[in-house]
Amino acid sequence: MRNAFIRTLTELAEGDVRIHLVVGDLGYSVVEGFRERFPNQFLNVGVAEQNMTGIAAGMALCGKIVFTYSIANFPTLRCLEQIRNDVCYHQANVKVVSVGGGLMYGTLGMSHHGTEDLGALRLLPNMVVVAPGDPVEAELATRAVGHHDGPCYLRLGKTGDPKVHSGPIDFQLGRALTVRAGEDITLISTGGMLADAVSAAEQLAREGIQARVLSMHTLKPIDTEAVLAAARETSAVITIEEHSVIGGLGSAVAEILAEAAPDVRVAFKRLGLPSVFVCEVGGHAYLRKAFALTPEGMLKALEPLLERIARRAR
Q: Is the pTM of this model over 0.85?
A: yes
Residue 23: name the closest of 14, 11, 9, 12 by CA. 9
Contacts of 28 (CB under 8 A, 6+ apart): none
- Residues 222 and 220: their CA atoms lie apart, in Å, by 5
**Domain extents in the chain:** 2-155, 177-313
Sign for the CA dihedral angle at 65, 69, 73, 77 comes to: negative
Q: Which range (19-23, 224-228, 261-265) has the least confidence?
A: 261-265
At residue 198, what are phi and psi to the nearest 5 degrees?
A: -65, -40
β-pairing verdict for 19-23 and 65-71? parallel
- Tell me the mean pLDDT in the region 66-90: 97
Q: What is the DSSP letter of 172?
A: B
- Per-residue model confidence (pLDDT) at position 311: 81
189 burial via Cβ count (<10 Å: 0-12, 13-18, 19+): buried
For domain 177-313, which CATH number applies: 3.40.190.10, 3.40.50.920, 3.40.50.300, 3.90.650.10?
Answer: 3.40.50.920
CATH number of 2-155: 3.40.50.970
Closest CA to 62 of 93, 99, 27, 106: 93
pLDDT in tens, 216-235: 999 999 999 999 999 999 99
**Per-residue model confidence (pLDDT) at position 314:** 66
